[in-house]
Structure 1
C-alpha cells in the first residue's frame, strides 16, 4: 500500500507499456487513445536503431506518469496490420516509426532514432493533446469546431473573432491560439499573424498547433514573391532540370491552394537532386507537412513517398 506522496514507478510500465498485435490493436491503441494519448512504436527484431529507441521511449513514457501510454508493434509478426496501416497513409516503409494516436486518429509521428531530448519533446507534446473522453469544457470544444469550420468556409474574420473569444475564456488554449494565427494568415494580414505568434504564452509556444501555424505563416510569406503558375510551369516544361523554377512553381501552387500539386513538384525535385540548395526540397516538404494536420491525406501520403525515397 502506498503512502501519500509515494509513487510506484516500478509497476508503471506494466500499466503504461504493452506489446500489441493485430488482434489487440483496436482495443489497446484505437480505443485506449480516446482516454489518453497512445504512442505506437513500430519495430522489428532485425532493426538496430529500434533496439536503442525502444528503451528510450519506455523511459520517457514512464516519466510522463500516465499522461501517455505506449504500444509496441512487431511489424514482422503483424505484417497484415502493418500493410493495412501503410495503405491508410502511415509511412511504415522504414522503421523505427513512432506514431501518436489521440481519439483513434494519428496526430503526430517521427522516424528513426533521435536524441533523448527530442523524444521527451515528442512525449510532452503528445501528452498535452486532449482526448475526447475528458471533462466538460463549457462548450469550448464546440466553439473551436465552429471556428475551424468558418475558416474552412472562407469566413476568416468570423473565425478570428471566435478564436479570440475562446482565448478570452482560456488564454493558453493552443488550438485557439494557432487558429487565430491561421485566420490572420488567411486574411493576408501576415504582420498581425506574426505578432500574435510572437506573443504566445511560454507554456504553449512549442505546442504542435502553434508549430503548424508558424509553418503556415512561413509558407505564406514565401509565396508573396513568386510568379504566376502558368509562367513557372512553362519554364519547368521547357527545362525539367531547372530546379529553381520547379521550386518556385511549388511555392506558387501552394499559394493558390493546390497543396497536392506543390508536394508533387517538391517530391519530383527531391527525386532529381535531393542535395540542391542545401536540401531545400526536403525542408519545404517538411514545412508543408507541419502546416497540415498530421492525419491529412496529403501529409500522410507525402511523408510516405519522401521516406521511401530517402531510404531507397
Structure 2
C-alpha cells in the first residue's frame, strides 16, 4: 500500500524538503535499531532508505499498545540481521517532526504507527498492534520490494537444497539456524522434521513435530510433515514384506491390495517415484478401486513430500495425464 496516491505526492527524494522543512542531518548510524529524532531523521530514515529498507516506529510512553508492538518490531528487525533498519520515534519528544510528517499525509495522530521507507519514499504502513506473523509478512514484503529476503528465507532455500540432495544432517543444521532467527517459521519446521524423518526415523520426527508452536500447526508445511510421519510409520510396517508383495503382484497383476501396500512400503523406504508408480498402475487398471483409495493415497504422498518436490511434480503430471486422457 502506497501512502501517497494524490497528485500532490512528493517526488522521489523530496519527501520532506518539498514543504520547506528544516530538518537537520546527523551522521548515519550503523546500528540496525536506533532512536530517531528531529536532528537525524533525514540521515537515518530518508537517506538510509536509499540503501536499506527502514521501518519507522512512532510511539509514546502513554501508549500501551506501543509497548506491546515495539518489542515485536525489535525482535523481527534483529532477525533480519541488518537487512532492515528500525528507527523508533517518540512523538511527544519530536512534535515538530511529527507536524512536518503529518503535513505530507502520514496519519501519526493514531499510534502505534509503523511506516516502511524504501528509496526515500513511504511504500507501506500499518497502524495498531499486529500479530508477530503479520509483522513478519509485512517485513518480508518490504524486503521483497527492495529485492531482498529474510535471512531465514535464504537458509530455508539452502536447507531444501540439502534435503533434496539427501544431505540430511547438514539440512537439519541449516533449518535449525533458520528457526533460531524465526522460531515460528513453518517452512523451517517442516524442513527440519522432514530431515529428521529421513535421517533418524518417524519416532524422532514425531518428537520434533510435538515441539511445533501451536500458532502454526495448521500451516500446510506442518500438515505435510505430519502426513510424512504417518506414511513413514505405515510404510515401516510393510518394509519387510516388500519382496513378498512384489511376488504377489507378479503372480496376479490385478492384486490391487498388494500394489497399494507395496506403494506404502516403497514410500517408507524413500523410493518416491516407485511408490507413485504402483498407485498410478492401480488407477490405470481401476480408478474406482476401494473408493478411489489409490488416488487418495497418492495425494497424501504429494502432501507429505511437499508440493515442490521433484517426485510430486512428476507424479502430478502423470496423474493429470491419467485422469484427463
Task: Write out aligned runs for 1:76-155 (5 A).
Answer: 133-134=144-145, 136-137=148-149, 139-155=151-167
Cα pair distance change 1:310/1:208, threshold 3 Å: same
2:281 and 2:263 map into 1 onto residues whose CA distance is 10
Say whether residues 1:292 and 2:305 are aligned partners: yes
- Distance change (3 Å), C-alpha of 1:203 and 1:234: same
TM-score after normalising by structure 1: 0.52
SS at match of 2:200: coil
Q: 1:1-312 counterparts in 2 under 5 A?
A: 133-134=144-145, 136-137=148-149, 139-226=151-238, 227-310=240-323
3-state secondary structure, aligned to 2:281: helix
Residues 206 and 225 (structure 1 numbering): CA distance in 2 closer, same or farther, change over 3 Å?
same
Displacement after TM superposition at 1:222 (Å): 1.2
> Deviations 1:247-268 (Å, cap 9, x if unpaired)?
1221222233321121111011
What is the distance in 2 between the residues matched to 1:308 and 1:149?
A: 28
- Unpaired segments ≥5 residues, structure 2: 5-133
CA RMSD of aligned residues (A): 3.2
Alpha-carbon contact 2:194-2:225 (below 8 Å) kept: yes
CA distance in structure 2 between the partners assigned to 1:219 and 1:3 by the alignment? 49
Shift in CA distance, 161/259, structure 1 to aligned 2, threshold 3 Å: same
Q: What SS does the corresponding residue of 1:277 show, helix, strand or coil?
A: helix
Shift of 1:144: 2.0
2:193–2:205 contact (8 Å) kept in structure 1: yes
Higher mean Cα deviation, 270-279 or 181-190?
Answer: 270-279
Q: C-alpha displacement at 1:223, in angstroms?
A: 1.0
Partner of 2:53: none
After TM superposition, the score normalised by the length of structure 2 is 0.50
Relative to structure 1, is the Cα distance of residues 3 and 164 closer, same or farther in structure 2, using a 3 angstrom cutoff? closer
Q: CA contact under 8 A between 2:175 and 2:192: conserved in structure 1? A: yes
Following superposition, the deviation at residue 221 of structure 1 comes to 1.1
Cα shift readout 1:104-148 (whole Å, capped 9, x = no counterpart)? xxxxxxxxxxxxxxxxxxxx9xx99x7883565553233223323
The 1:188–1:277 alpha-carbon spacing in structure 2 relative to 1, beyond 3 Å, is farther
Tell which structure's C-alpha radius of gyration is larger: 2
Distance across 1 between alignment mates of 2:280 and 2:152: 39
Report the Cα distance in structure 1 between the residues aligned to 2:157 and 2:308, rounded to whole angstroms.
Answer: 16
Residue 203 of structure 1: how far off its partner (Å) = 3.0
Alignment size in residue pairs: 189
CA contact (8 A) 2:260 2:294 kept: yes
* Structure-2 separation of matches of 1:201 and 1:193: 15
User: Higher relative CO (CA 8 A, sep ≥ 6), structure 1 or 2?
Assistant: 1
